[in-house]
């Protein structure tokens, strides 16, 4: 009984013992940091939000959650009296998303005013390019969209792998946003060949010195369309017989032989003078040849005009289809596309 009571007490104590807290993910840290900010616990909010934005955790944050962490961290640092830290958080936010705007219904003027100051003082753009673009016809273009933190001057160009400029796309001012187009050709109007290029967008704070550079690697290749298979010739089963089978011809040969024999047996009918052996043999030979000719004619197959016409229509239809395929394939071989694959932009700050 005593032993059983001891085991029961051990089970109760082990179940009541505190369990280790579950590890907090980056999103949980952001949520708790925002709650701490709303509770005016700014020190805890700063610790939690910085933990969510640490390099080890930041990679697991969605963009929207990262922006939320940065804006609340900036607001937290404002109320902690750390202006420089607040500006650093806001600058990181506008560089990640130049279109981000503070909700003035949530944040008081001291926060929103500092955010606006940072945004106006930051000269940078974000670059959006389609992952894959095909340039086939005169109207096709690579579309590059720029979104600016504030108004400033930018220079956009396509450069070769060695750094030389292939084509200047734009040089001038940008307000809120800008769309730049590239037709895949160099400054001389020659279409670029396969290889690696780079799209470079430089932001200039004073119009001369570049303060930030965004580089987008571009992979180019020439692609041709697949040709159409050659049409198969019509099957033999589609064709009709073009000739009727001939007879044996033996009847014509027999008739010719009998007629020739009759001429030889009746000399006076053919030659009344009684001396007509030469004429008799000539006539007999002619009749025999006519029987032989009859043999050949009757044995020869007779053409069937309707079947011949039907077969000709089948062959002509196949030839027309083959000609269409040939012309289409020639056009496809001339239709060469420039395929541009854009990789992830990389931004660098000027020192």
Delineate the domains of the chain, giving CATH numbers in brackets: 23-121 (1.25.40.10), 125-223+338-349 (2.60.40.4070), 236-334 (no CATH)
pLDDT band of residue 168 (cuts 50, 70, 90) is very high
Which residue did the predictor score with more confidence, 56 or 238?
238
Range from 97-101, 142-146, 192-196, 208-212 that averages highest in pLDDT? 142-146
pTM: 0.63
Contact yes or no for 73/46 (Cβ under 8 A): yes
Mean pLDDT check: name the lowest of 3-17, 58-72, 155-169, 312-326.
3-17
Which residue did the predictor score with more confidence, 262 or 180?
180
Contact yes or no for 219/341 (Cβ under 8 A): yes
Which residue did the predictor score with more confidence, 122 or 211?
122
Which pLDDT score is estimated for 161?
Answer: 86
> Is residue 92 exposed (0-12), middle (13-18) or buried (19+ Cβ within 10 Å)?
middle
Q: Cα 301–303–306 angle (5° rounding)?
A: 145
- The CA distance from 242 to 308, in Å, is 5
Which residue did the predictor score with more confidence, 13 or 329?
329
Contact yes or no for 196/219 (Cβ under 8 A): yes
Does the pLDDT of residue 31 top 90, yes or no?
yes
- The CA distance from 197 to 218, in Å, is 5
Query: What is the rounded average pLDDT for all residues in the chain?
Result: 82
Give the H or E element holding residue 55: helix 55-58
Range from 18-32, 245-259, 263-277 that averages highest in pLDDT? 18-32
Structure tokens at 38: 């709303």
Which pLDDT score is estimated for 260?
Answer: 52
- The CA distance from 231 to 228, in Å, is 9
- The CA distance from 85 to 67, in Å, is 16
Which pLDDT score is estimated for 29?
Answer: 93
Structure tokens at 181: 């187009």
How many other C-beta atoms can be found within 10 angstroms of the C-beta atom of residue 218? Answer: 22
Does the pLDDT of residue 296 top 50, yes or no?
yes
DSSP one-letter code for 237: G
DSSP one-letter code for 191: B
Which pLDDT score is estimated for 48?
Answer: 96
The torsion defined by the Cα of 60, 63, 69 and 75, in degrees rounded to 10, comes to 160
Does the pLDDT of residue 335 top 80, yes or no?
no
């Amino acid at each position: 009984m005593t032993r059983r009571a001891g085991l029961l007490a051990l089970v109760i104590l082990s179940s009541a013992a505190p369990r280790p807290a579950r590890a907090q993910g980056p999103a949980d840290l952001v949520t708790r940091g925002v709650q701490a900010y709303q509770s005016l616990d700014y020190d805890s909010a700063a610790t939690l939000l910085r933990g969510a934005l640490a390099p080890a955790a930041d990679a697991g944050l969605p963009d929207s959650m990262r922006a939320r962490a940065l804006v609340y961290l900036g607001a937290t640092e404002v109320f902690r009296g750390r202006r420089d830290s607040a500006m650093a958080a806001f600058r990181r936010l506008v560089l990640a998303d130049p279109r981000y705007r503070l909700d003035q219904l949530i944040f008081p003027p001291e926060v929103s005013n500092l955010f606006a100051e940072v945004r106006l003082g930051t000269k940078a753009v974000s670059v959006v390019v389609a992952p894959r673009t095909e340039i086939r016809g005169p109207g096709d273009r690579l579309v590059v969209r720029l979104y600016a933190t504030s108004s400033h001057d930018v220079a956009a160009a396509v450069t070769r792998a060695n750094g030389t400029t292939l084509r200047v796309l734009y040089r001038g001012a940008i307000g809120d946003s800008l769309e730049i187009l590239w037709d895949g050709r160099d400054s001389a109007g020659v279409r670029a060949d396969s290889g690696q290029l780079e799209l470079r967008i430089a932001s200039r704070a004073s119009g001369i010195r570049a303060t930030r550079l965004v580089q987008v690697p571009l992979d180019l290749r020439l692609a041709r369309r697949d040709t159409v298979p050659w049409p198969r010739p019509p099957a033999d089963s589609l064709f009709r017989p073009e000739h009727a089978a001939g007879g044996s011809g033996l009847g014509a040969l027999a008739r010719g032989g009998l007629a020739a024999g009759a001429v030889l047996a009746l000399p006076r009918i053919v030659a009344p003078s009684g001396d007509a052996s030469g004429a008799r043999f000539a006539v007999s030979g002619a009749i025999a040849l006519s029987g032989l000719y009859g043999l050949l004619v009757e044995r020869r197959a007779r053409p069937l005009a309707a079947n011949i016409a039907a077969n000709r229509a089948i062959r002509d239809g196949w030839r027309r289809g083959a000609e269409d395929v040939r012309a289409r394939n020639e056009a496809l071989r001339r239709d060469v596309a420039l395929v541009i694959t854009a990789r992830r932009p990389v931004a660098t700050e000027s020192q």
